[in-house]
Amino acid sequence: MTKATGKDIKGIISALLVPFNEDGSVNEKGLRQIVRHNIDRMKVDGLYVGGSTGENFMLGKETKKEIFDIVKDEAKDDVKLIAQIGGPNVYEAIELGQYATDLDYDAISAVTPFYYKFSFEEVKQYYKDITDAVDNDLIVYSIPVLTGISMGLNEFKELFELKHIIGVKFTAADFFLLERLRKKFPDVKIYSGFDEMLFPAAIYQVDGAIGSTYNVNGLRAKGILEAVAHSDLDKARQLQNDSNDLIEAVLANGLYPTLKRILQLQGCDHGEFLSRKPMASMTEAQRIEAERIFKAYL
Ligand code: MN9
């Protein structure tokens, strides 16, 4: 199966964090700073916009479009841009997919539909509806721990046969399945979704990785990919160990609020960096711990 695309999306791709104001609106200047920080200082290869990390599933359609607009306007063509447009509302997914494609996003991505326990036939029809309607490459976003939708080799194969589907963002700890996917679909793009497992995923020759912690730890992550490419496994393992000291502490303190506080400490300092309700923003104790984490692990 050949999945030729002129747009070779690879390397370290940040799942973009979005700062919100007290009233739930997007902090536009802060978001622009985060985009520049990722490109100029973390040296990432791409941005994944509208994912779990962007708190996307708590947002309305117009806010999702606004974020796609701001990010494209700020990033221009500096790095690859992927728009996550999926969710249980397939009509909205199609509209957002067309919107991001008109904005010249390099690819779209769609999470498996969630909440209702959809059958695989329903999941497949959802991808067919999107890829029939939107003329852009599509990356399947598989994250069973949050969606409850777990797919095996045969199911992935059926999805990869649909037009426009070029790959998968694989957010699972199943390295047997990852190895089988890589072996059986050498031309499909596989992006590792758990940052804490980047090193073993790189050993299995993923094309890249999409994750939240790259917003603050992108340089180390790039180092892991480079070291594996040069077969310097000791160095790659060491960089993963250092990254995981950071990730472990960040997860224990509250993932997105802690990453946003670290971004502020790294110089993205405009306005409020709150989470979108009903997700809680930080307590004072979490804020102090975030500052300790920044000093200790970055
Ligand atoms: O997109 C991210 N998943 C979620 C991937 O945030 C649910 C990951 O980057 C994780 O945040 C990260 C920490 O567990 O690996």
Residue by residue, pLDDT tens for the chain (298 residues) are 445 565 799 999 999 999 999 999 999 999 999 999 999 999 999 999 999 999 999 999 999 999 999 999 999 999 999 999 999 999 999 999 999 999 999 999 999 999 999 999 999 999 999 999 999 999 999 999 999 999 999 999 999 999 999 999 999 999 999 999 999 999 999 999 999 999 999 999 999 999 999 999 999 999 999 999 999 999 999 999 999 999 999 999 999 999 999 999 999 999 999 999 999 989 999 999 999 999 999 9
**Sign of the dihedral through C-alpha 197, 198, 203, 205:** positive
Q: How far is the CA of 265 from the centre of ligand 1 (A)?
A: 21
Q: Are strands 138-142 and 107-111 parallel, antiparallel or unpaired?
A: parallel
Residue nearest to atom 6 of ligand 1 (CA): 53
CATH topology assigned to domain 9-297: TIM Barrel (3.20.20)
**Sign of the dihedral through C-alpha 197, 202, 207, 213:** positive
CB atoms near residue 130 (< 10 Å): 24
Choose the residue to mutate in 147, 194, 245, 253 for probing ligand 1, maximizing ligand atoms within 8 Å of C-beta.
Answer: 194
CB-based burial, 192-225: b 16+ in 10 Å, e otherwise: bbbbbbbbbbbebebbbbbbbbbbbbbebbbbbb
CB atoms near residue 231 (< 10 Å): 8
Amino acid at 125: Q
Report the helix count and the strand count for the chain, using DSSP H and E.
Answer: 12, 8
Choose the residue to mutate in 12, 16, 52, 141 for probing ligand 1, maximizing ligand atoms within 8 Å of C-beta.
Answer: 52
Q: Enumerate the domain spans of the chain.
A: 9-297
Distance CA 72, CA 57 (A): 20
CB atoms near residue 189 (< 10 Å): 21
Which residue in 232, 256, 239, 219 sits closest to 58, CA to CA?
A: 256
Residue nearest to atom 11 of ligand 1 (CA): 212
